[in-house]
Structure formats: C-alpha cells, structure tokens
Amino acid sequence: MTGTITETNTNTNTGTKNDLFLIRHGHTEGTSQKIFYGSTDLALTTDGAREIRELRDQGIYPSADHACLYTTGMLRTEQTFRLIFGDQPHGTIPELREINMGELEMAPLEKVMEHEPSRRWFNGETDRFDFPGGDSTETFTRRILKGSDKLMGIMKNAPGRDTILVCHGGVISALMELYFSGIRNNTWKWLPEPGHGYEISFRDLAPVDFTRI
C-alpha cells in the first residue's frame, strides 16, 4: 500500500483498530466515454479489466487474508473483485450501490449539462442533486447511512480485522464526506480514479486517518 495520510487524529494508538478499504471498480463504457450513469449494470471494458490486473500486479491492493470481503453486488464491482481477489467468498451491501441518475441514466455529458440542477452539481457549484426519476440528495444519503451502519456492524463484530469493499466512485465520495466531515472537500475532490480508493483507519469504530490507494 502506498499513499499519503491527509487527516490524522492524534489519539491513534489506543482502542480497537480496524482498517476499511474502499476500492472503486474499474473502467466501464460509462467512465471511458463520459456517459452519465449509476444504476445501469455495466460491465468492465477490456481496457478496464487490464488496468485492474496491472494495478493488482503492482501490489496496491490489500491482502484478502482474514479480511471481511464485500461488493455492492453490481456486475462491475463483482468483476473488479474477482480480478483482484479471485474466487474468494464475499458478501454484498446493496445499500452502497451507485447513485441512480433516473432519466439521465446513460446520458452523454452534453445532455446532463442541459439539465440546470444537474449541471450545477456536476460543476461542483452545489452539493445537492435531485435526478428526475432517480435519487435525490436525501434518498441517496439515507441509503449511504444504512450502508455505513452495516460496515460499522461488520467491523464491530470483527475487531482487528480488515474490511474490504469494492464499490463506486459516488459512494466512496459520500462515505469520505461522512467520515471526514471536518475536511472541506466537495464530492469531486474525494472521487478516486477507477481501480483506486482509500484505506481508512478506525479506532473503536471512529475514523482517525486515511491513505489513498
């Protein structure tokens, strides 16, 4: 693992330690072609799968040994998981699936920019969104909180063990905003590149620092 600790709590040497790894899936048709999507169950592209294998061979990912392993159950997260960790048994946390873009699912960026509320969110002018027929800030946040509660329950029941979740860019951004609310980053500042993510250290289920993967 390599990276830079950006936020550190001074009381990191006491309490039960758990590390949570959030890994974004590899490139899909959507990420490669700048198509707006979230709930559409896209597969990895050939190049996306190759990039994940290259990152795996570089040794950037954590070991699955003795770790609690999860995906969101979507095809792109399952494929990414298998490329990194093979056929390891794992669970799913569907609450941590990507934002549902509703009527803007699979829309090109040009069309998204024609929808003023989405344009403002996409450009980082506001942290609120409300996609017609899809998620709003409120519905997505409620779902993320439920998913985070599940992660906390997993770590509580497995003290000292790593938890690894292969999930989505928007979800990772939302979780980082939740866990490190004292850092004034907008959603896009937290967004990792496909195949990358964060290692978050918890003490007694409280997040104390993180490292970029």
Q: What is the pLDDT of residues 3-37, one digit of tens each?
A: 333 444 334 456 899 999 999 999 999 888 888 89
pTM score over 0.85 = yes
- Domain map of the chain by residue range? 5-212
Tens of pLDDT along 63-86?
999 999 999 999 999 999 999 999
- The per-residue pLDDT for range 129-180, each reduced to its tens digit, is 899 999 999 999 999 999 999 999 999 999 999 999 999 999 999 999 999 9
* Residue of 135, 133, 199, 208 lying closest to 172 (CA atoms): 199
Report the alpha-carbon distance of residue 147 to residue 136 in Å, rounded. 17
CATH topology of domain 5-212: Rossmann fold (3.40.50)
The token duo for 211 is 């490292």
Dihedral angle, C-alpha 161, 202, 98, 115, nearest 10 ° = -170
Nearest of 168, 198, 193 to residue 78 by alpha carbon: 168
CA–CA distance, 82 with 59 (Å, rounded to integer):
15
